Every structure is written in structure tokens, then in C-alpha cells.
């Protein structure tokens, strides 16, 4: 005879002390523990409530450190000269390590000390945060003015139109493209990819082991409440990550090694790079602190004895004698069910690794052949692809489309979009619970939510402006000519090709790459009470020779950023409403013994088909809209100017495509459910003519949508 099949808490690995504690609690009259001297000193780490609190804080900190990169993605691009495709691959790389190991969690789940393994995973996550910040300390200080020599203050007269600067470009180029500099760049980027891989590996045991630990040792009636609290606190993590990014990106990147005399940059300057690395250090410290308690939790703890008081009061007021009888019968069936289950999730602890690998593909194919399950997973893959692309590149899109700073874009997302998305998830769960929705009505709710989300995205195609006139790069019809009118105005200037110090002529809204490209020969600073304004004068390429302002021209559509974010937030709310009902379709659409594995397959497919490729797809689409690339050592680096109309149409178009695909999946699910109900009704009528009379006689009333999927 093999070992008895049962849940994790009933496995043979339970220590004798914990068995005695549980037996003393359950067997004595009144549920009181036996007078054991060891139990007279209860430890705070033997309380499942403390574990729920610690795990909520840990998952919140984990999402902070994984979501912080998405909020600072445009800053990392500027600092290390990355394209959007490369930065999208970097953002998705943490899913590589996670996906490679998540399948084996069900195999090793009951064979390890779960709290300690969660603590080790959290330590790896904290280490990944430190690795993400390491490139800042091993790289040279950030130089936003490439034309200034290393021993001169940046943003000096080096970018002016001066004949004496004809020999500066080759020297600057050779000094900045040494083999050491290129090797340093490759090492920094390699460290960030390694850190993302470590982040994914460290996050593998945290959520699955934490949820199973809570479910094993919490009271049967308290477990859903604890998991609800866990998910509610966890959902605050992305919002806090964007909020942290909004604060950190206001600080200059080299705040720990500021040059003498300071810098002449503001956060509105396109060359500004914020302190992206500081957020990773803060998040890593929070994760490390949250990991400490897990090394003190026991491998097994006594199962919670009592239901929460306020929960008992609510049930006592609302429950009838019939419902009490049903609850007791369901509780008995719940206790007896573990011994009757024979699914892969239950027999996995008794299989060897080779046997587990052999059994897994067979159960996977059996689950994927279910049409409802497959369509629900495909719809969730489309929704997750939309969310992954939006979360990664929405801050950059706001910066380029509406001329807002990186910190303000992060604050908008953290304060508007994330709270509304959380509200949508809560609303979806409330509707399913309050209206007692069956599979049919769940599919209708998902269909309506995604339909209205799709309709709200239509105005987004028209909320934006075209790229303003960039002299020598983009010429808008009807705009006042710049370099085209004075083709030889900067010939004596010998302007360096790799310099970027944009200036704007305010009256015609024409932007030049540098003061040299505008033919300016002098620079002046106008001091004010709160800030100083830099002007460049004697500009031969500007009509009338009027002075130009330092910095890029502001977008004419800056006032549309708030209406745009409100529509995006409302769309996120409606898309989030589908989260709980679609999850219920999965739970009610597969065999009872395959539910645990079906949920695991769902998350695995979402990672492989959505969270990994979607940021790369969105980044590639964004790169195709670039009209001017920066060059670094002969290679294409960060994009400096985009075609805003093309950027808006392709970014919002990708979002629209994923929403429409999810809507189509839900429509097919609804059609299949209706067909199944018709077939069941026909079979019942043909095979059992007296079935309806028996149902009426027994008083049983069951709606069609509550039948099996």
C-alpha cells in the first residue's frame, strides 16, 4: 500500500509536536487545548493571522520591485541608450525564470519547508533589486552634453555655432567610444537582464506556497476572507511602484555624485534622467525586511480553531436553519473530499520527478481540449497582453504625446489607472457573489465589460497632436520653414552630428537639435525668483534672428492628458470587471480533480503567451514610429523623436486589437454555453419524459445557466 492521498497538512512530514497540538485542540471537549507546558507559551509565529499579514506585505513589496522598472522604462532607455524593443525585452525577462520553474511548484510543494522557501525567494527578489541598481554605480557619471570635454562644465558654449569648434566632433566621438566604454555598457545591460532573471526565479515560491499555506491552516470559513485580504493588499503594489517612480524620477540621476556647480537641467528637459536606481534600493530594502519573519514560521502549524467573530455574527443573523444544515453538510463533504480526490494536484506529492513529467502532458492536453477552458484562457491572454503593454509603455507614451515629465506620468498612472482597475476587480467579484451568477451570466458580464471597454478606447485614437516642426527632420504642412529657407546658415558652424541639446523658437514652434543647428552664437541666462531661463541669441537659421529657448517645444495637446487618463482608467475598470467571472468560468468548466492544475496552466499560459511577448511587441511597434535615432559608437541607440500620429495609432491600435480579440472569445464562449444548454434540454426531454414532473414534485428549481459547463 502506498502513502495515503491527502492534502499537504495531512502528509507524513508533520512533526510530532504539531500533531499533538492539533490533537489536543480538536479532541478535547469544547475545543480547548490540553494542558501541555509547551503550548502554554504560544508563539506569535504560530498564528495564521500573522502569516496573512506578513505575506500581504511581502507580495506588496514584491510587486513594487517588479513594477518599478515599468514606471522608469523611458529613463532607463535614455540612460543606457536602449531601444523600446530592448527595454520591452528587459521588462519581460523576469517571466523567463518564473515560467521555467512554476510548473514544478506543485511537485515540490509538500516536500519542502514552505515558509523558509518563501523567505529564500524573497531574499532572491531583494538581491535582484540590488543588481538592478548596480549599473548606476559601475558606470561613468551621466553626461547630457556630449560636446563638452570631461573637464568642463556641461551645457557650456561647446554647443554654440563657433568656427573654432570644427575639430571638436572627432575628438569627442573618439573619447566617448573607447573599448572600455563599450564594454562597460554591455556589462551594465547584461547585469540588468541577469537581475530580471533572478527576480523571476525568486518570485516562483512566494504566491503559490503562501496561498496553499494559508488554505491549509486557516479555518475553512476564514480562508476566503484571508485570501481576499491578501489579494486586496497585493493589488496596491503596482500603484505604489508608480508612485515611488514619480518621486524618485524628480531627483537627478547622479544625486550621489553631483558635479561642482550643479547642473543646468530641469525635469522638463528631454535630456533629464531621474534617479531610477534609487527606487530599486528602497524596494529591495522593503522586500528584505518582509522576508525576515518567514524564517521563524513553522513548517506546519495547528489548524485555526475558531471562525472570526464578526463573520459568525453575520452568518447568525442571515442564515436560516436550512442554510445551516446545508453548511454543515458541505463542511462534512469538504472534510471528506480530500480522500476521494485523485487529481494530479493530489497525487503529485507521491510521484517521482520522472513520473510527474510523464503524467503532466497527458493532463495538460486533456484540460486544453475543453473548449470553454481554452477560450477563457485565450481571452485572458489577450487581456493580459493589453495590460502588459499598457503598464510597460504608457508612461513613455504620455511623455511623448502630451509633453509631461516622467515623474508626473507615473503619478497619473499610480493615482488614476491603478485604483480604478482595483475597483473593477472588486466590482466584478461583488456582482458574481451578489447576483449568484452562473456560467451563462458570467459570460454575459464578461462580454458586456469588454464591449464597453472597447467602445471607450475609440476616442483615444483622436486625443493627441502631430509632432511639431523639427528643423531638418520633420516639416509640418503650413508651418514656417526653418533650415529649408536658409540652407547654408549653419555651414560655418561644424555642428557635431551626435549632439542633442534641443532649443525651441516659440513664435513658430520650430525645434532645432542644438543651438548650433539654429546658427546661434551666444548664450544668456535670465535669472528669476524660482528658476532661471536659458536663451540662445544671434541665431542665423531662425527667421528674424530672434532668440530661442533652451528645451523642446511643448505639445499643443498637453491639456488632453487628464481626459485621456480618465478614459484609460474607465476602460481599465471595465476590463477588470471580467477578472472574477472569467476565473469562475474556468473553475466551473473543468473536472473537479483538475481545478488546481487548470489554474496553474492558466497562469503559465498567460506568462508564456502574454506577459513575455507583449512588452516586446509593443516596444517593436513603438520603434517603427521613430523618425530620428541617436547614434552611440556607430550603433543605433535611444529614439529622440517620434511621429506622434503614427505612435498614437499603433500603440492604441495594438490595445484595440487585444480588446477586440478578448471580446470575440467571450462571444464564442456565450454561443457554446447556449448550445450546450439546448443540447442538455433536448437530451433530458428525449431520454427522460417524466424528468420535469419529478423535478416539480421534488421542488427542485435549477436554472439552465447553473448547469455544468
Length in residues, the chain? 709
Q: How far apart are CA 377 and CA 87, in angstroms?
A: 27
Predicted pLDDT at 160: 82
Q: What is the pLDDT of residues 567-604, one digit of tens each?
A: 999 999 999 999 888 888 887 767 766 666 777 778 78
Query: How does DSSP assign 348-378, residue by residue?
Result: GGGS-HHHHHHHHHHHHHHHHT-HHHHHHHH
Query: How does DSSP assign 147-204, residue by residue?
Result: TS-TTS-SSSGGGS--GGGTTHHHHHHHHHT-HHHHHHHHHHHHHHHHHHHHHHHHTT
Higher per-residue pLDDT: 159 or 629: 629
Query: How does DSSP assign 414-432, residue by residue?
Result: IIIIHHHHHHHHHHHHHHH
- What lies within 8 Å, CB to CB, of 655 at 6+ separation is 386, 389, 390, 457, 460
User: If pLDDT is split at 50, 70 and 90, which confidence band does 34 have?
Assistant: very low
Residue 339 has pLDDT above 70, yes or no: no
Higher per-residue pLDDT: 532 or 625: 625
Q: Which range, of 139-143, 211-215, 316-320, 698-702, averages the lowest pLDDT?
A: 316-320
Residue 347 has pLDDT above 50, yes or no: no
Residue 202 has pLDDT above 70, yes or no: yes
Predicted pLDDT at 95: 86
User: If pLDDT is split at 50, 70 and 90, which confidence band does 164 have?
Assistant: low
Predicted pLDDT at 198: 92
Q: How far apart are CA 125 and CA 129, in angstroms?
A: 6
Q: What is the pLDDT of residues 255-313, one digit of tens each?
A: 888 777 667 778 888 888 999 999 999 999 999 999 999 999 988 888 877 766 654 44
Residue 623 has pLDDT above 90, yes or no: yes
User: If pLDDT is split at 50, 70 and 90, which confidence band does 566 have?
Assistant: very high
Q: How far apart are CA 238 and CA 417, in angstroms?
A: 10
Predicted pLDDT at 350: 56
- What lies within 8 Å, CB to CB, of 45 at 6+ separation is 51, 293, 296, 297, 298
Predicted pLDDT at 456: 94
Cβ atoms of residues 184 and 81 within 8 Å: no
Indicate the average pLDDT of the chain. 78
- Locate 271 and state its grid cell: 535630456
Q: Does domain 352-463+558-684 have CATH number 1.20.1250.20?
A: yes
Q: Which residues partner with 641 through β-bridges?
A: 628
Q: Which residues partner with 626 through β-bridges?
A: 642
Q: What is the pLDDT of residues 660-697, one digit of tens each?
A: 999 999 999 999 999 888 887 787 776 655 545 554 55
Predicted pLDDT at 705: 45
- Counting Cβ atoms within 10 Å, is residue 275 exposed (0-12), middle (13-18) or buried (19+)? buried
Percent of the chain surpassing pLDDT 70: 73
Higher per-residue pLDDT: 368 or 612: 612
218-235 mean pLDDT: 79
Q: What is the pLDDT of residues 376-415, one digit of tens each?
A: 999 999 999 999 999 999 999 999 999 899 999 999 999 9
348-353 mean pLDDT: 56
Residue 13 has pLDDT above 70, yes or no: no
- Locate 427 and state its grid cell: 466590482
Q: How far apart are CA 619 and CA 622, in angstroms?
A: 5
Q: Which range, of 84-93, 168-177, 511-520, 647-656, averages the lowest pLDDT?
A: 168-177
The pTM of the full predicted model, rounded to 2 decimals, is 0.80
Q: How far apart are CA 686 and CA 658, in angstroms?
A: 42
Domain boundaries, the chain: 43-141+182-303, 352-463+558-684, 493-551
Predicted pLDDT at 32: 41
468-483 mean pLDDT: 62
Residue 698 has pLDDT above 60, yes or no: no
**DSSP 8-class letter at 482:** S
Q: What is the pLDDT of residues 242-258, one digit of tens each?
A: 999 999 999 999 888 87
Predicted pLDDT at 308: 64
Q: How far apart are CA 382 and CA 387, in angstroms?
A: 9
User: If pLDDT is split at 50, 70 and 90, which confidence band does 500 have?
Assistant: confident
- What lies within 8 Å, CB to CB, of 96 at 6+ separation is 196, 197, 200, 612
CB half-sphere exposure, 515, CA atoms < 13 A: 27
- Locate 103 and state its grid cell: 510548473
Most confident among 172-176, 367-371, 477-481 (mean pLDDT) = 367-371
User: If pLDDT is split at 50, 70 and 90, which confidence band does 172 have?
Assistant: very low
* Angle formed at CA 636 by CA 634 and CA 637, multiple of 5 degrees: 110
Task: Give domain 43-141+182-303's CATH number out of 3.30.450.40, 3.50.50.60, 1.20.1250.20, 3.30.70.120.
Answer: 1.20.1250.20
Residue 638 has pLDDT above 70, yes or no: yes
Residue 560 has pLDDT above 70, yes or no: yes
Predicted pLDDT at 688: 58
Predicted pLDDT at 482: 44
Predicted pLDDT at 372: 86
352-463+558-684 shares the fold of 43-141+182-303: yes
488-493 mean pLDDT: 73
481-487 mean pLDDT: 49
Amino acid at each position: 500500500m502506498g502513502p495515503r492521498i491527502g492534502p499537504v497538512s495531512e502528509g507524513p512530514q508533520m512533526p510530532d509536536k504539531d500533531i499533538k497540538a492539533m490533537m489536543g485542540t480538536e479532541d478535547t471537549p469544547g475545543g480547548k487545548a490540553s494542558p501541555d507546558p509547551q503550548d502554554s507559551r504560544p508563539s506569535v509565529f504560530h498564528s495564521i493571522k500573522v502569516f496573512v499579514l506578513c505575506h500581504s506585505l511581502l507580495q506588496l513589496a514584491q510587486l513594487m520591485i517588479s513594477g518599478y522598472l515599468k514606471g522608469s522604462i523611458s529613463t532607463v532607455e535614455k540612460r543606457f541608450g536602449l531601444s523600446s524593443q530592448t527595454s520591452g525585452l528587459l521588462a519581460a525577462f523576469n517571466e523567463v525564470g518564473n515560467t521555467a520553474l512554476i510548473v514544478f511548484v506543485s511537485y515540490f510543494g509538500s516536500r519542502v519547508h514552505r515558509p523558509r522557501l518563501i523567505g529564500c525567494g524573497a531574499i532572491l527578489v531583494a538581491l535582484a533589486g540590488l543588481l538592478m541598481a548596480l549599473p548606476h554605480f559601475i558606470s561613468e557619471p551621466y553626461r547630457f552634453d556630449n560636446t563638452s570635454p570631461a573637464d568642463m562644465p556641461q551645457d557650456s558654449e561647446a554647443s554654440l555655432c563657433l568656427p573654432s569648434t570644427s575639430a571638436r566632433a572627432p575628438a569627442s566621438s573618439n573619447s566617448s567610444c573607447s573599448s572600455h566604454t563599450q564594454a562597460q555598457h554591455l556589462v551594465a545591460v547584461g547585469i540588468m537582464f541577469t537581475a530580471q532573471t533572478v527576480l523571476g526565479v525568486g518570485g516562483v515560491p512566494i504566491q503559490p506556497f503562501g496561498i496553499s499555506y494559508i488554505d491549509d491552516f486557516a479555518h475553512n470559513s476564514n480562508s476566503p476572507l484571508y485570501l481576499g485580504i491578501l489579494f486586496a493588499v497585493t493589488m496596491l503594489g503596482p500603484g505604489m511602484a508608480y508612485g515611488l517612480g514619480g518621486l524618485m524620477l524628480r531627483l537627478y540621476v547622479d544625486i550621489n555624485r553631483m558635479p561642482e556647480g550643479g547642473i543646468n537641467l530641469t525635469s522638463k528637459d528631454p535630456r533629464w534622467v531621474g534617479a531610477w536606481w534609487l527606487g530599486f534600493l528602497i524596494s529591495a530594502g522593503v522586500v528584505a525586511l518582509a522576508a525576515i519573519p518567514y524564517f521563524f514560521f513553522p513548517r506546519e502549524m495547528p489548524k485555526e480553531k475558531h471562525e472570526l467573530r464578526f463573520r459568525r455574527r453575520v452568518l447568525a443573523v442571515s442564515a436560516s436553519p436550512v442554510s445551516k444544515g446545508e453548511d454543515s453538510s458541505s463542511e462534512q463533504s469538504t472534510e471528506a473530499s480530500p480522500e476521494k480526490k485523485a487529481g494530479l494536484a493530489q497525487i503529485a506529492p507521491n510521484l517521482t520527478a520522472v513520473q510527474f513529467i510523464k503524467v503532466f502532458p497527458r493532463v495538460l492536453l486533456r484540460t486544453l481540449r475543453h473548449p470553454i477552458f481554452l477560450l477563457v484562457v485565450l481571452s485572458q491572454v489577450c487581456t493580459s497582453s493589453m495590460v502588459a503593454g499598457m503598464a510597460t509603455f504608457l508612461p513613455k507614451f504620455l511623455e511623448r504625446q502630451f509633453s509631461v515629465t516622467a515623474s508626473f506620468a507615473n503619478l497619473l498612472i499610480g493615482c488614476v489607472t491603478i485604483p480604478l482597475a482595483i475597483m473593477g476587480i472588486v466590482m466584478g467579484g461583488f456582482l458574481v457573489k451578489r447576483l449568484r451568477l452562473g456560467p451563462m451570466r458570467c459570460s454575459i458580464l464578461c462580454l458586456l465589460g469588454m464591449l464597453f471597454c472597447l467602445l471607450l478606447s475609440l476616442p483615444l485614437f483622436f486625443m493627441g497632436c502631430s509632432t511639431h516642426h523639427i528643423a531638418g527632420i520633420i516639416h509640418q504642412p503650413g508651418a514656417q520653414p526653418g533650415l529649408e529657407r536658409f540652407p547654408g546658415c549653419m555651414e560655418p558652424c561644424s555642428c557635431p552630428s551626435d549632439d542633442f541639446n534641443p532649443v525651441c523658437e516659440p513664435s513658430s514652434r520650430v525645434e532645432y537639435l542644438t543651438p548650433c543647428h539654429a546658427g546661434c552664437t551666444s548664450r544668456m541666462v535670465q535669472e528669476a525668483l524660482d528658476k532661471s531661463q536659458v536663451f540662445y541669441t544671434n541665431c542665423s537659421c531662425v527667421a528674424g534672428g530672434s532668440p530661442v529657448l533652451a528645451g523642446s517645444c511643448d505639445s499643443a495637446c498637453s491639456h488632453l492628458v487628464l481626459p485621456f487618463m480618465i478614459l484609460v482608467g474607465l476602460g481599465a475598470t471595465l476590463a477588470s470587471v471580467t477578472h472574477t467571472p472569467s476565473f469562475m468560468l474556468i473553475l466551473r468548466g473543468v473536472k473537479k480533480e483538475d481545478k488546481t492544475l487548470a489554474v496553474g496552466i492558466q497562469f503559465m499560459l498567460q506568462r508564456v503567451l502574454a506577459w513575455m511577448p507583449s512588452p516586446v511587441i509593443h516596444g517593436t511597434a513603438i520603434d517603427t514610429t521613430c523618425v530620428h535615432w541617436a547614434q552611440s559608437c556607430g550603433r543605433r541607440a535611444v529614439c529622440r523623436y517620434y511621429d506622434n500620429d503614427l505612435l498614437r495609432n499603433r500603440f492604441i491600435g495594438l490595445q484595440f486589437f487585444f480588446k477586440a480579440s478578448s471580446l470575440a472569445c467571450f462571444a464564442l464562449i456565450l454561443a457554446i454555453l447556449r448550445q450546450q444548454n439546448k443540447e442538455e434540454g433536448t437530451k433530458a426531454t428525449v431520454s427522460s419524459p417524466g424528468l420535469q414532473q419529478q423535478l416539480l414534485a421534488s421542488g427542485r428549481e435549477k436554472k439552465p445557466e447553473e448547469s455544468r459547463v
